Every structure is written in structure tokens, then in C-alpha cells.
Amino acid sequence: MSLTNEEGGTGLLQATSRFTVINDTCLTATTCPSSPSKYRTADGSCNSLSITNLGKANTDYRRLITPAYADGIQSPRVASDGSALPSARLVSVRVLGGAEKPTDATALALMQFGQLINHDFQSSTTFTFSNGTDISCCTSAGGSLDASQLHSACLPISVALNDKFFNPKNATTKISCMNFVRSIAGPRLDCSLGYADQLNQNTHWLDGSTVYGSNSATLATLRQYTGGLLKVTRDATNNRDLLPITSTCTTGACFYAGDSRATEQPQLTVMHTLWHREHNRVAKALSALNPTWSDETIFQEARRIVVAEMQHVAYDEFIPALLSPGIIAKYNLAPLASGFFTNYTGLTNGPISNEFATAGFRVGHSLVQGTVKLYSEDGTLLTSSYTMSDTFNDPSRIVNDKTYFDAVIRGLLTQLSASADHTIDESLWNKLFRAANATWGFDVAALNIQRGRDHGLPSYNTYRQLCGFNKATSFDALTNVTSSSDPIIKSDLSTIMGQVYGSVDDIDVFVGGLAEVPFPGAIAGPTMSCLIAEQFNKLKFSDRYFYELGGQPHSFTAAQLAEIKKASLARIFCDNSDGTVLSVQPNAFAVASATNPRVLCTNTASIPALDLSLWKNEVLF
């Protein structure tokens, strides 16, 4: 078993001392224009005018709290008594297994938009050899290597010989090792030495980098350089545009986009394609309104609008589907009913927290449905529905089946999301990135647990306390209900955790967070809600280009902002499908109901469309 990282991407950075905590080479400050630019840079730099590398691609994550490295610098976390923590796979099998439960009314679109924006602002990178090849921490047959044979970046996950999934009774070859390579540490913004902070190779902002890339080189490969458009693969037979295909492609479906994970699974590929098409739709409209504009102007104005749409969908629709009204109010996440906000605060360290990237937002892995349902326009469930574990990194049906793309959209609108709980679907739990004809793949939960330890994340109890909740003093305290307290976690999981962990202070934050009882009116539990809300607060208040921010040279006009606030995921589906999605419920993150009925896409009273004429003769600088 081998895997470069838990998201299936390729290690793009070489494992050199330049990216280690003991590095004595500082980042050179990015030189920004003397006058603030109206447009974002491709790599996220120059967002802050005082710390020009803040939020730039290939800078480190910030920390909410000092990490719990065993040696205080970079050794993975150990148990509170100094002993080894239980195997991440053992914890996963004992605590996080079981059949997924659907939510009551949340559509699967929640999971898919969440994955898109997660890939927009974070991507940890693992070590590779200097020639770019992957490091193997297990034998080719899944056996364990002797310590003397392990690369220093290896942190393999042990698999029990009685693991009923990887080592069934009739197995002739036993698997004892799951490959795992440590994340690269990034250079600190202030050039200081200290504990390891891992590298984020994407921009730290919610800036559409899934569409446009996180550096100028990627952006250049995506642009047509005519009419402000992005490149496409034209399917003339079916009168549609698909994502561009690499020139070296041999399978007919080697799509590429702003993020290298675009073809990780078909629903994600569809979501990427929708926003890619939205850019070109907006660019064509702007070009028609402003025939004298250059390619560069059209491109940058379209990008500016599309990023604003994505931010509005995130804050106006996605966050209310995930977090409780109380948390949204506490962290000031709701868009204003009208006008601008002016509370830009900036930051002194990177916007994306290690805790959010490595634990909090990985709650989305529990939302995945392994059986992906496809629907016709009349609501009929199609027999061509599929199992996710059969389609990892294989978007070929998008190319070969003209009905498939829109059927996936209708599935995202119709199928219920799985609950955010301690259960994770089999497609990710045991079959992640399963190879063709293989029985098992990887365990995303075990990878997440191990990644948290690799990054030195303190225990679940530490983050409960950091978020202002009571610290559990025993395993029994996790579920006991008294007159003054509610259960922290679900069912009898405290007993199971007590059998797996040596102390309640050893519980991994990803494990404890998924096991929590959700807040009323929310999908996520208290600790995960805290980590997620804190992050979206920082993304809102520290982004100088945030769409609602006023008083800046690049701010939208009041009338333009009012149009941006008409954006919705429902309208993105309507405007950018293959043409057979004719009706959508206005709130695409909730399944259709009496209060959220399906309406025709032509019904702009229920699903408003942006009036781009407000960008005619836009004042440019």
C-alpha cells in the first residue's frame, strides 16, 4: 500500500533542509505594488500590506495553541504518560466504524461544496525523495520495515494481524503496515526558530484557487488569453465544455484545474467544472458589455466576481447548514443584510490554522455517502448510480456518458448527506483510493488521526478547554448526564474510548470531535464547531479582498455588492449544468421540501440571477 498524502495528491516539494524547522534561510518578503492592486495575486501574497507573505502559498499554518510534540520540536505526539499512543488504525476500527446515518434534511451538496472550498485554502505536502519520487514506509506487500530501513520522514500506521477488514481469517498474506509519510514543515513568517509548523502549498485565502490555482504558473496553464476565458475541452457532440485535459493524457479524462485533486472523485470533478464554467459565463457577459476591455481586464474582473460569489455561497448558505445560529452569531459569520462591513483586522500569522486543516474541517469526511445516487429530471433514481470506491481518480464517465454530469448534480441536490458523527462510510474507511481489482484501500480516519499526531495537535480535551467547554476528567464524564450537564459524546463511546486510550487526555481531537453530540440546529458538535467557526471568522476579517469589505480601493460598489448577494449554489447549478437540470430547490444545501420546493431555473424571483450590467464601464485602475 502506498500513498503520497491523505488527499491523494502528488508531493510537489522536495524534502530538502529548506523546508525544515532548523532552516536558517528566511522567506524573502514579497515586493508589492506601491499602490494597492484592485486584484488578488495568484499566490495569495500582498493581501496584507504590512506582512506581504501573509497567506501566501507555501507558507506555514498558524497555531491556536502550542503543539504537543513529544520532544517539543517535531516528534509526533505521545500519550500523556509518555508511552506510545494506540495505533491510529486500531482507534479507527474501535471508535469510528459502523454504518453511516443520513441527516434529516441536509443535501449531499453540503459535503461536496465543503470539499471544494477545503481544497481552495489548504493542502499539506508530504516529504518525497530529492528526485520527486514517493517514500515507501512499508514493504510492497504491506509488511512492516525494520526501523533501520525506514526513511526519517516515515510514520507508518500499524495494522493488527486480526484486523477483520485488512486481515480476514482466510487471508494468505497478512498486512501489518499502512504507508504514511510526514508533512513538510514550512519556514516561519518571522524567520524565527522553534517547533515545526507544517507547510500549506495552497493560498490560505478563500480566493477561488481551486479554479485559478495557487501560483502564477498554474494560472498561466489554465488561461486561454483571449476574451478573459479559461481553457476548456470542447465536447462539440454534446455542445458542452469540460475541464481542460493535459496534453500528455492517455486515458481520455486527465482533467486539470486550479487544484491537483480535481479528479479525486466524480462529484468533486463536477463541482470544479461548474465553477470553471461560471468564470467563462461571467467573462463572456462582461466582454459583451465592455467590448473595449482587454483580455486581462475581462479575466480579472470575472475572477473578482466569481471569488465573491464563492465567498457569499460559503457564508450565506454553507455555514448556516453546518453550524448553529448561536455559533454563527458568536463568531460574526453572517453576511450583512445590506451595505459593507469595515472591520478588517489583518493577522500576524497565516490565516489557516493547523487545527482546522488537520482536524476541524475533516468533519466533512463523515458527510460522505459511499453509494452515490444519480437521478433523472423527473426524480427517478437511475440504475447507473455507483459506489464511490469504484471511481476514485476516474472521471471517465463525465466524458463518455452525456447524461452523467447532470445526473450527478441532481444527486447532490436529492441525496441526503451522511451525518457528521463517529461513523465513516466504508468507501473512505477501508477503501480510500482502492486500486482496480483490489479489495481494500486506505482508511481516511486512520490517516487523519496519524496526521494530527504528525502535526503535534494536542488532545481533544485540550481543544475542548481552549474553546471554553468543560474538560472531561474521566471517560465516564464524557457521557454521564447530571442535572447541570449534558453528555459530551454519543452513546456508550466513553467505554470504548476507555478500552482504547490510556487516559481521557490522550483522545485525538479528530476522534473526540466526531463523537460529540451536535449543537442544536447544527451538524457539527461543540469542539468542531469552534474550530470551524474560528477559522471562518479569520478568513472573513483578515482578508483585505473579502467581498463584503468596504472602504477599500478595490471594494465593490453598493449596487454591485447587492447583486453579488444574489449568488447561490442553486443558481450555479442552473447556469452551468449540461442543460438538462431544469429545476432546483432555492437552498441547494437542503433537500427539497414544502418550505424549499423545487422551482424552474427560469424562476429568477426564487433563484435570483446577477445583473452583470452593473459592471458596464466599470471604473478600472
Q: Is 265 within 8 Å of 241 (Cβ atoms)? A: no
Q: Which residues contact 224 (CB under 8 A, 6 or more apart)?
A: 230, 231
For residues 271 and 284, what is the distance between their CA atoms, to the nearest angstrom?
A: 20
For residue 553, the model assigns a pLDDT of 86
Among the listed residues 264, 243, 255, 252, the one whose alpha carbon sits nearest the alpha carbon of residue 389: 264
What is the enclosing helix (H) or strand (E) of 242? strand 240-242
Contact 535, 350 (CB under 8 A): no
H/E element holding 103? strand 102-107
Grid cell 465593490 — which residue? 556
Is residue 173 classed exposed, middle or buried when 0-12, 13-18 and 19+ CB atoms within 10 A define those classes? Answer: exposed
Give the angle subtended at the CA of 576 by the CAs of 607 and 598, to the nearest 5°. 35
pLDDT tens profile 131-169: 878 899 988 888 888 888 889 899 999 999 999 888 887
pLDDT the model gives residue 306? 98
Locus of grid cell 528566511 = 26
Look at residue 481 and tell me whether its pLDDT is greater than 60: no
Burial 488-502 (b: 16+ CB within 10 A, else e): bbbeebbebbbebbe
Residue at 286: amino acid letter: L
Catalytic residue among 119, 312, 422, 455: 119
Q: Where would I find the H helices in 555-620?
A: 558-564, 569-576
For residue 248, the model assigns a pLDDT of 65
Q: For residue 255, what are the β-bridge partners? A: 245
What global pTM score does this model have? 0.93
- Residue recorded with cell 482508511: 443
- Please check whether residue 158 is in contact with residue 89, taking contact to mean a CB–CB distance below 8 angstroms: yes
At 6 the pLDDT is 40
Contact between 269 and 398 (Cβ < 8 Å): yes
Please give the span between the terminal C-alpha atoms of the chain, in angstroms, as a whole number: 53
> Within a 10 A sphere around the Cβ of 529, how many other Cβ atoms?
28
Amino acid 311 reads Q
Rounded mean pLDDT of 28-53?
91
Q: How many residues does the chain have?
A: 621
Known binding site for heme b: residues? 365
Region 108-134 average pLDDT:
91
| pLDDT for the residue numbered 249 | 64
Place of cell 470539499: 115
What is the structure's pLDDT at 618? 73
Lowest mean pLDDT among 18-27, 58-67, 235-244, 369-378: 18-27
Of these ranges, 259-263, 385-389, 469-473, the one predicted with the greatest mean pLDDT is 259-263
Query: Is residue 13 scored above 70 in pLDDT?
Result: no
Query: pLDDT by residue (tens digit) across 188-242?
Result: 777 778 899 999 999 999 999 999 999 999 999 999 999 999 999 999 999 999 9
Residue 312: which pLDDT band, with cuts at 50, 70 and 90?
very high
| Cα 583 from Cα 410, distance rounded (Å) | 9
The pairing of beta strand 599-600 with beta strand 583-584: antiparallel
* 436 vs 571, more confident: 571
Query: What would the pLDDT profile of 554-612 be if each residue is shown by its tens digit?
Result: 999 999 999 999 999 999 999 999 999 999 999 999 999 999 999 999 999 999 999 99
> Does residue 388 carry a pLDDT above 70?
yes
**pLDDT level of residue 620 (50, 70, 90 thresholds):** low
CB atoms within 10 A of CB 131: 6
CATH for 38-119+190-615 is: 1.10.640.10
User: Could you please report the per-residue DSSP string of 537-602?
Assistant: HHHHHS-TT-TTB-SSTTPPPHHHHHHHTT--HHHHHHHHSSS---EE-SSTTB---SSS--EETT
* Cα 312 to Cα 317: distance, rounded to the nearest angstrom: 8
The mean pLDDT of the chain is 89
Q: pLDDT over 70 for what percent of the chain? A: 93
554 included as an active-site residue:
no
Q: Where are the domains of the chain?
A: 38-119+190-615
What distance in Å separates the CA atoms of residue 96 and residue 421, rounded to the nearest whole number? 8
Q: What is the mean pLDDT of residues 428-438?
A: 78
Residue 305 has pLDDT above 90, yes or no: yes
